[in-house]
């Protein structure tokens, strides 16, 4: 069994020279980071073994969680369609099949170790950690990750059915929530501070205290492993011996359990592989993952298709699909989700210290974040999905009319989305934004959303043969180019207005920039629309 996997991995890897090169560079960088530790190891502070024990313990807990997630959540996702076909139906025992995705998981573990290694300089400066400590940290992390991975895998395969599968995740999440709440309570009571003042406590004291609390030291495997390092520091190697025995017994038991236990996980792995394959197929057509998942939450309710005849049937179908996925005809689920994330990010940014000294920064940031999110949300909307299926080409209506019907169906959601964008801009910076500016921004976003939709359609129709990544890169590069040109035009307009009408306040100047952008985006949209009409009639479906 190992031989075919090695053969497959080797041949897959040799076809990815870029990945190999990046891997070698990353490895050399990691070595360099470890080498530099001695060079930079000035004594900025007195070495504190308690601090280092706590630090290692925190890293080990992160390693445990990472390994567990790799084993439990990622395990069924690490099978490809080919794995499902050839391994599940082949003459392999369940244990052999369980080991198939271990290679991918192990790469993930190496990435974790590399990431920790890259922090070695920071750790040296902040905590005076030395190279031997780093080796202990990395070695113990690898062992803890392996243990956590196999525990995660065992739970994933023994509880792979519907609710049981999710129950494992809930228990894991619940344990962490309880742990965090308990630690916060303990820290507050120990240092006599309120919750919001925790960060005022000196970091080193905080780390030492947290690392030595009972909940942390009893954390499965990761908490126990820190005793091994502590024993090493104190010259007591009994914890090391116990640790080795525990690790061997646990790994041996898990292997025995996986070899001789009765479990079934093929269904889940196949369904995950199928889903991953569907996403890949969708992305081959240049459609972003974020928008192909529109259908994931679709639930059949009482709604029915009862409107539309001929051309208008296309319009009503699009509206109906929105109702099916979000229950509201003018809500694009993906765009709305992005909008919520965007609002959350901006509200979080508003709480930053010193932001009040830069009143326009929040508004500018909000515009940038909103436009980035909209680029993703509206370059893979329903119109793009529609033109990836044969029905639209077969329906006996003029191609340009069908295109207009699809675009018309997007008007309600684009209008609603643009209003949301205007609202977010106002919330982001109420002190510097005027209503004229918000209104101009709403118009600009309407124009921009239509532009993204049309540009994406043209790119997908024209350059599908480029392949998924190139198509996405080209698509986003064109949008960035258009936005940059528009920015230049806006500034030129503002300059002319300032010269002719005198100085303008920031809000008016920005609003004029939005209006210029609206006009420019609308012009490009109109040009692309004309081109798209031509392409729908002249190019292969």
Partner 1 sequence: MLTVDNVTKKYKKFTAIDELSFKLDDGQTGVLLGPNGAGKSTIIKCIAGLLQFSGTIEINGLSNKSLDAKRQLGYVPEVPTLYDTLTIDEHLEFIRRAYKSDNKQYMEDLIERFELGDKRRKLGRELSKGMQQKVSICCALIHDPSVIIFDEPLVGLDPHAIKELKSLINELKAAGKTILISTHMIDTIEETWDVVNIMMKGKIAATRHNTDIMKAGEKTLDELFFEITEGETD
Binding site for partner 1 (CB under 8 A): 294-295, 298, 300, 304-305, 308-311, 313-314, 317, 320-321, 324-325, 388-391, 393-398, 538-541
Closest CA to 486 of 439, 451, 528, 437: 451
CB of 334 to partner 1, least distance (A): 13
Q: How far is the CB of 310 from partner 1 (least distance, A)?
A: 5
Which of 324, 475 has the CB closer to partner 1? Answer: 324
Cβ atoms of residues 184 and 195 within 8 Å: yes
CB of 183 to partner 1, least distance (A): 43
Q: How far is the CB of 297 from partner 1 (least distance, A)?
A: 10
Nearest distance in Å: CB 466, partner 1: 13
The nearer residue to partner 1, 256 or 298, going by C-beta atoms, is 298
Nearer to partner 1, 294 or 445 (CB): 294
Please, what is the minimum distance in Å from the beta carbon of residue 296 to partner 1?
9
**Shorter beta-carbon distance to partner 1: residue 97 or 385:** 385
Long-range contacts of residues 172-178, Cβ cutoff 8 Å, at least 24 apart = 172/68, 172/72, 176/65
Q: Which is nearer to partner 1, 264 or 303 (CB)?
A: 303
CB closer to partner 1 out of 322 and 456? 322
What CA dihedral angle connects 475, 476, 478 and 480, to 10 degrees? 170
360 vs 533, which CB is nearer to partner 1?
533
Contact yes or no for 378/414 (Cβ under 8 A):
yes
How big, in percent rounded to 5, are the helix, strand and coil portions of the chain? 80, 0, 20
Smaller CB separation from partner 1, 323 or 497: 323
Buried b (16+ CB within 10 A) or exposed e, 304-335: eeeebeebebbbbbbbbbbebbbeebbbbbbb
**Considering beta carbons, is residue 372 or 395 the nearer one to partner 1?**
395
Min. distance of Cβ 86 from partner 1 in angstroms? 19
CB of 516 to partner 1, least distance (A): 38
Give the span between the Cα atoms of 98 and 282, in whole angstroms. 28
Q: Which of 389, 440, 384 is nearest to 407 (CA)?
A: 384
Q: Minimum CB separation from partner 1 for residue 303, in Å? A: 9
DSSP conformation letters of 146-209? HHHHHHHHHHHHHT-SHHHHHHHHHHHHHHHHHHHHHHHHHHHHHHT--GGGGGGS-HHHHHHH
Query: Distance of CA 526 to CAs 399, 414, 426, 444, Å?
Result: 16, 17, 29, 15
Work out how close the CB of 122 gets to partner 1 at its nearest, in angstroms, rounded to a whole number: 46
Closer to partner 1 by Cβ: residue 134 or 294: 294
Supply the minimum distance, in Å, between the C-beta of residue 481 and partner 1.
27
Closer Cβ to partner 1, 261 or 310, answer by number: 310
Q: Give me the DSSP letters along 1-68.
A: -HHHHHHHHHHHHHT-HHHHHHHHHHHHHHHHHHHHHHHT---SS---HHHHHHHHHHHHHHHHHHHH
Q: Which residues contact 449 (CB under 8 A, 6 or more apart)?
A: 374, 378, 414, 417, 418
């Amino acid at each position: 069994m190992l031989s075919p996997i090695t053969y497959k991995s080797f041949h897959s890897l040799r076809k990815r020279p870029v990945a190999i090169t990046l891997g070698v560079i990353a490895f050399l960088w990691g070595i360099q980071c470890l080498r530099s530790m001695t060079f930079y190891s000035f004594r900025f502070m007195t070495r504190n073994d308690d601090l280092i024990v706590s630090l290692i313990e925190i890293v080990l807990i992160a390693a445990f969680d990472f390994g567990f997630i790799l084993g439990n959540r990622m395990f069924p996702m690490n099978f490809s369609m080919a794995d499902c076909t050839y391994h599940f139906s082949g003459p392999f025992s369940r244990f052999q099949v369980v080991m198939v995705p271990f290679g991918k998981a192990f790469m993930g573990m190496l990435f974790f170790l590399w990431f920790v290694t890259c922090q070695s300089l920071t750790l040296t400066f902040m905590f005076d950690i030395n190279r031997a400590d780093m080796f202990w940290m990395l070695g113990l992390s690898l062992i803890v990750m392996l243990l956590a991975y196999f525990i995660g895998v065992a739970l994933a395969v023994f509880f792979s059915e519907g609710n049981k599968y999710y129950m494992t995740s809930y228990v894991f999440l619940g344990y962490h929530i309880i742990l965090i709440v308990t630690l916060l309570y303990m820290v507050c009571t120990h240092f006599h501070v309120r919750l919001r003042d925790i960060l005022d406590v000196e970091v080193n004291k905080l780390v030492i205290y947290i690392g030595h609390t009972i909940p942390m030291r009893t954390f499965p495997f990761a908490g126990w492993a820190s005793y091994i390092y502590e024993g090493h520091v104190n010259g007591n190697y009994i914890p090391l011996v116990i640790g080795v025995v525990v690790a061997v017994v646990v790994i041996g038991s898990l292997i025995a359990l996986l070899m001789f236990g009765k479990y079934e996980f093929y269904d889940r792995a196949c369904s995950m592989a199928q889903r991953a394959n569907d996403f890949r197929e969708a992305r081959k057509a240049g459609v972003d993952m974020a928008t192909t998942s529109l259908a994931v939450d679709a639930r059949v309710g009482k709604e029915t298709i009862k409107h539309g005849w001929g051309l208008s049937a296309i319009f009503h179908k699009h509206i109906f699909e929105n109702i099916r996925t979000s229950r509201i005809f003018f809500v694009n689920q993906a765009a709305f989700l992005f909008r919520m994330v965007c609002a959350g990010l901006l509200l979080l940014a508003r709480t930053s210290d010193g932001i009040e000294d830069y009143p326009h920064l929040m508004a500018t940031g909000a515009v940038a974040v909103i436009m980035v999110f909209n680029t993703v949300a509206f370059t893979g909307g329903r119109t793009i999905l529609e033109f990836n299926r044969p029905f639209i080409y077969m329906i006996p209506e003029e191609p340009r009319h069908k295109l207009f019907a699809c675009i018309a169906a997007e008007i309600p959601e684009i209008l609603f989305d643009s209003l949301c964008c205007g609202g977010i801009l106002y919330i982001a910076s109420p002190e510097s934004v005027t209503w004229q500016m918000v209104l101009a921004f709403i118009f600009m976003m309407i124009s921009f959303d239509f532009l993204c939709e049309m540009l994406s359609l043209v790119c997908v129709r024209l350059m599908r043969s480029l392949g998924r990544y190139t198509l996405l890169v080209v698509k986003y590069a064109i949008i960035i180019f258009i936005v940059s040109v528009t920015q230049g035009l806006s500034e030129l307009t503002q300059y002319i207005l300032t010269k002719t009408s005198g100085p303008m306040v920031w809000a008016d100047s920005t609003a004029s920039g939005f209006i210029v952008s609206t006009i420019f985006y609308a012009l490009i949209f109109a040009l692309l629309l004309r081109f798209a009409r031509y392409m729908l009639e002249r190019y292969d479906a």
